[in-house]
Amino acid sequence: MTLSSALQSAFWFDSRPLVLASKSKGRRLALEQTGIPFIVRPVEFDERLSEREILQQGKGADEVAKRLARGKAIEASRSEKGSLVLGADQLASCENRLFGKPATIEQAAEHLRFLSGRTHRLHSAALLVRDGAVLFETVCHADLRMRLFDAGFIAKYLAVVGSDALASAGAYQAEGFGVHLFEQITGDHWTILGLPLLPILAALRREGVLLA
């Protein structure tokens, strides 16, 4: 038995692995650090359409993030009967604007131009679902201040990160090359990654599937 499997058998009590309803590299990396056995089951879910519909109802960033995370988790739960499913989503807000994943490199550049020199807030939602029933739900926050940079820097940054700029709210992954965008970060590391681990682990312990 490897060290990893020994840790899993000692700490994880569910007969099935946790299901992560996300294709995010950052969330997968965060969950790997816990030693919890999990499988990745991203779903076909039109986040931008759902986001627009929720915003038209006058909902704020927290509610948008929660509903998007819930939609993905419940969809994944349909094909993972009996399994615990972890859903997550993240939005950024700044001066009454909301920023999800940019649709194009041009939109990513526009987002970065606006956020340059400003502090924005990340809203990271997570929830646990089993057989369509929501067992736990939370939204955690982090505040990040970007440096003041010019159009030339933005162009070079986007040339380096390429399509990765389209994978996260705000057009960056702070755990990677995106760290060059910032002058100050306040908040939980895992919340910034898009998966607030500490409340998730507490919820798993309450569910009796993780060593307390």
The DSSP code sequence of 61-120 is: HHHHHHHHHHHHHHHHHHTSTT-EEEEEEEEEEETTEEE---SSHHHHHHHHHHHTTSEE
Asked whether 155 and 109 are in contact (CB, 8 A), the reply is: yes
Residues whose CB is less than 8 angstroms from the CB of residue 107 and which lie 6 or more positions away in sequence, other chains included: none
Distance from chain centroid for Cα 7: 25
Domain ranges of the chain: 3-206
Q: Name the pLDDT band for 1 (thresholds 50, 70, 90).
A: very low
Concatenated DSSP letters for 171-193? G--TTTGGGGGEEEEES-HHHHH
Name the residue among 17, 1, 4, 81 with its Cα closest to residue 210. 17
Which residues are catalytically annotated? 89
Task: Enter the tokens of residue 172.
Answer: 């960056």
Could you tell me the CA-to-CA distances from 60 to 68, 94, 116 in Å, in that order? 12, 12, 22
Q: Name the pLDDT band for 9 (thresholds 50, 70, 90).
A: low
The C-alpha atoms of residue 96 and residue 167 are separated, in whole angstroms, by 22
pLDDT over 70 percentage in the chain? 89
pLDDT tens sequence across 147-171? 999 999 999 999 999 999 999 999 9
Which pLDDT value is given to residue 69?
93
Name the residue among 18, 1, 6 with its Cα closest to residue 201. 18
* Higher-scoring residue by pLDDT: 71, 120: 120
pLDDT tens sequence across 90-144? 999 999 899 989 999 999 999 999 999 999 999 999 999 999 999 999 999 999 9
Backbone angles phi, psi at 16, to 5 degrees: -120, 155
* CATH number among 3.90.950.10, 1.10.3720.10, 1.10.3470.10, 3.20.20.20, domain 3-206: 3.90.950.10
Calculate mean pLDDT across residues 172-195.
94
pLDDT over 90 percentage in the chain? 78
The C-alpha atoms of residue 116 and residue 182 are separated, in whole angstroms, by 9
Which pLDDT value is given to residue 7?
56
